Amino acid sequence: DVKVTQSSRYLVKRTGEKVFLECVQDMDHENMFWYRQDPGLGLRLIYFSYDVKMKEKGDIPEGYSVSREKKERFSLILESASTNQTSMYLCASSRDRALFFGPGTRLTVL
Amino acid sequence: AQSVTQLGSHVSVSEGALVLLRCNYSSSVPPYLFWYVQYPNQGLQLLLKYTTGATLVKGINGFEAEFKKSETSFHLTKPSAHMSDAAEYFCAVPFTGRRALTFGSGTRLQVQP
């Protein structure tokens, strides 16, 4: 069965902190994605990775970076968290263009 | 610009009534189209997937979607709503030149008893 896990369901951080969101998939998928979800805006793509150490910017990459050192793990990094990064963060991997999502991390930046 | 439009951010139906959630996309015929469902405090779950050739696609939980090329639409329907259908529904399209899916802004379905 397809499984994508995210390290935290809820996270509270302070402005200026460096934040790491971890995502792991057990399906041997090459492509992995980070989206953020905000009310009324749907899902917006932050970054994606199509292979180990390979990444491409999505639609809203500013203030974020990513790391993919192993095929199964894709990390999203907020270099210096700001209040406007308070959001739900969703990780996904894909097969045949279909996305399989993790449960999400609800991040609050105070 | 490539976009996915879901008409109606909120839809309310009575239990047992027809569910119709609308999705339109702005491009030539994509090879795939998707509907996802998100229950409260959960990630998105694949509801159904359209692939080139079929016009009516059946998904999980009694949902189906009809692809209409002339209208660039991919509306989601269910003949009889159940309370457990209350959730947010997203239409998604893989536009040419993009590896990732582009999502609509979502429609929250409320089912009244």
Cβ–Cβ < 8 Å for B85, B78: yes
Burial B16-53 (b: 16+ CB within 10 A, else e): eeebebbbbbeeeebeebbbbbbeeeebbebbbbbeee
Residues of A in contact with B32 (CB under 8 A): 96-98
Q: Tell me whether residues A99 and B101 touch, CB distance under 8 A.
A: yes
**Cα distances (Å, whole numbers) of residue A26 to A6, A73, B6, B58:** 12, 9, 32, 27
pLDDT tens for B57-88 read 999 999 999 999 888 999 999 999 999 999 99
CA distances (Å), origin A57, targets A88, B17, B100: 19, 43, 11
Other CB atoms within 10 A of residue B5 CB: 14
Closest residue in A to B9 (Cα) is A40
Between these two residues, B52 and B56, which has the higher pLDDT value? B56
Of the pLDDT bands very low, low, confident and very high (cuts 50, 70, 90), residue A1 is low
How far is A77 from A107, CA to CA, in rounded Å?
12
pLDDT, one tens digit per residue, over A10-36 is 999 999 999 999 999 999 999 999 999
Cβ-Cβ pairs closer than 8 A, A with B, add up to 52
CA atoms within 13 A on the CB side of B106: 20
Residue of chain B nearest A4, judged by CA positions? B43
Q: What is the pLDDT of residue B92?
A: 94
Set of chain A residues whose Cβ sits within 8 Å of the Cβ of B41: 104
Considering CB atoms only, which of A41, A48, A100 is closest to B100? Answer: A48
Interface contact flag, B43 A4, Cβ < 8 Å: yes
Rounded-to-integer distance, Cα B35 and Cα A73, Å? 26
Q: Would you place residue A2 in the very low, low, confident or very high pLDDT band (cuts 50, 70, 90)?
A: low
Q: Does A23 reach chain B within 8 Å, measured CB to CB? A: no
Q: How far is B15 from chain A (nearest CA, A)?
A: 25
Closest partner CB to B105 (pick from A4, A31, A40): A40
Contact A40 B46 (CB under 8 A): no
User: Cα–Cα distance between B103 and A25 in angstroms, integer?
Assistant: 22
Q: Which of A12-16, A37-41, B1-5, B77-81 has the lowest mean pLDDT?
A: B1-5
Cβ contact (<8 Å) for B31 and A97? yes
Per-residue confidence band for B30, with pLDDT thresholds at 50, 70 and 90: confident
